[in-house]
Amino acid sequence: MTTSASINPRIVEGLYCEALVLSDEVRAAFADPARLDGAPDVDLAKVALSCEALRTTTRMMHTVAWLLNHRAFFAGDLSEFQLRRYGKLVDFPEGDPDHMALLDREMRELIRATERFHARLKRIDNGWRERSDSEPNAITRLRQRLAVQTSQLV
């Protein structure tokens, strides 16, 4: 059985920096109008590029938001309850194979890099939630303390 590292401020900061760099690469890549030069069907390539740009930038926005929530938690601006409720990283669809085939190799690699980054954060999020779910929550701990105090009074 393997154990994963716990989420801590240092890990979150490193991932946050990585997310910002990757987001900037995504922005620059999709803003380049020369991307479609040489495409056999420019209209189909434009549609593919638009769809994948939307999917990829949204994926990166979700990862940055997840990281910002964790940064806020470690800074004391969010409670663990708020982080659990609002800080979940949702599953996100991968690039459409038909669209990806119309894009150049560099663009496909960049999109795959965002998918791998999102998958890494998803594994971290799932591991954190599973570890924390095995621990009693605040209400359960309070009930346990009350039970102990009540038994001491009797």
Domain span holding position 98: 9-153
For residue 107, the surrounding DSSP H or E stretch is: helix 105-134
Taking alpha carbons only, the member of 115, 97, 93 closest to residue 26 is 115
Q: Which helix (H) or strand (E) holds 131?
A: helix 105-134
Q: What CATH number is attached to the domain comprising 58?
A: 1.10.8.930
pLDDT (tens digit per residue) in 19-71 = 999 999 999 999 876 766 666 677 888 888 889 999 999 999 999 999 999 99
**Is 19 part of any domain?**
yes
pLDDT in tens, 56-112: 999 999 999 999 999 999 999 999 889 988 888 888 888 899 999 988 899 999 999
- Residue 104 falls within a domain, yes or no? yes
* Tally of domains within the chain: 1
pTM of the model: 0.78
> What is the model's pLDDT at position 151?
78
Which carries the bigger pLDDT value, residue 84 or residue 6? 84
pLDDT score at 38: 63
Q: Is residue 114 part of a domain?
A: yes
